[in-house]
Amino acid sequence: MWFRHRRGAAAAALGAVAVILLPACSAEREESLVDADSLTIGVKDDQPGLGLDVNGELVGFDVDVAHYIAAHLGIEEVELVGITSAEREEKLVSGEVDMVVATYSITPGRKTEVTFGGPYYVAKQDILVRAEEDAVDGVRDLEGRSVCQGAGSNSAFRITDGLGIDVLELQEAETYSVCIERLSEGSVDAVSTDNLILAGFLAEDPDSFRFVNNPFTDEKYGVGLPHGDVAACEAVNKAVSEMYQDGTAVDLLEEWFGETDLEVVRTVPQFEGCD
User: Residue 81: which H helix or E strand, with range?
Assistant: strand 77-82
Q: Which residue has the higher pLDDT, 13 or 209?
A: 209
Q: Which pLDDT value is given to residue 259? A: 83
Sheet with 57-59: list strands edge to edge.
46-47, 51-54, 57-59
How are beta strands 217-226 and 114-130 bridged, if at all? antiparallel
C-alpha count within 13 angstroms, C-beta hemisphere, residue 11: 4
Q: Which pLDDT value is given to residue 13? A: 37
Q: Which pLDDT value is given to residue 141? A: 97
| Rg, C-alpha atoms of the chain | 20
Buried-exposed string 185-206: b where 16+ CB fall within 10 A, e elsewhere: eeebbbbbbbbbbbbbbbbeee
Q: Tell me the helix, strand and coil percentages in the chain, rounded to 5.
A: 35, 25, 35
Q: Which pLDDT value is given to residue 152? A: 83
Q: What is the DSSP letter of 115?
A: E
Separation between Cα atoms, residue 207 and residue 132, nearest integer Å: 10
Q: Looking at residues 215-244, what average pLDDT do you find?
A: 96
8 A C-beta contact, residue 62 and residue 240: no
Q: Give the pLDDT confidence of 121-161 residue by residue, as tens digits.
A: 999 999 999 999 999 999 999 999 999 999 888 888 899 99
pTM: 0.84
8 A C-beta contact, residue 199 and residue 61: no
Q: Which residues pair with 193 in a beta bridge?
A: 126
Q: What is the DSSP letter of 103?
A: E
Q: Which pLDDT value is given to residue 153? A: 84
Q: Give the pLDDT confidence of 40-90 residue by residue, as tens digits.
A: 999 999 999 999 999 999 999 999 999 999 999 999 999 999 999 999 999
Q: What is the DSSP letter of 45?
A: S
8 A C-beta contact, residue 124 and residue 194: yes
The three-state secondary structure class of 5 is: coil
Q: What is the DSSP letter of 262?
A: -
Of 179, 185, 190, the C-alpha closest to 143 is 190
Angle, helices 248-257 vs 230-245, to 10°: value is 80
Angle, helices 61-72 vs 230-245, to 10°: value is 110
Separation between Cα atoms, residue 181 and residue 210, nearest integer Å: 14
Q: Give the pLDDT confidence of 78-95 residue by residue, as tens digits.
A: 999 999 999 999 999 999
pLDDT surpassing 50 at residue 15: no
8 A C-beta contact, residue 38 and residue 45: no
Cα 271 from chain centroid (whole Å): 15
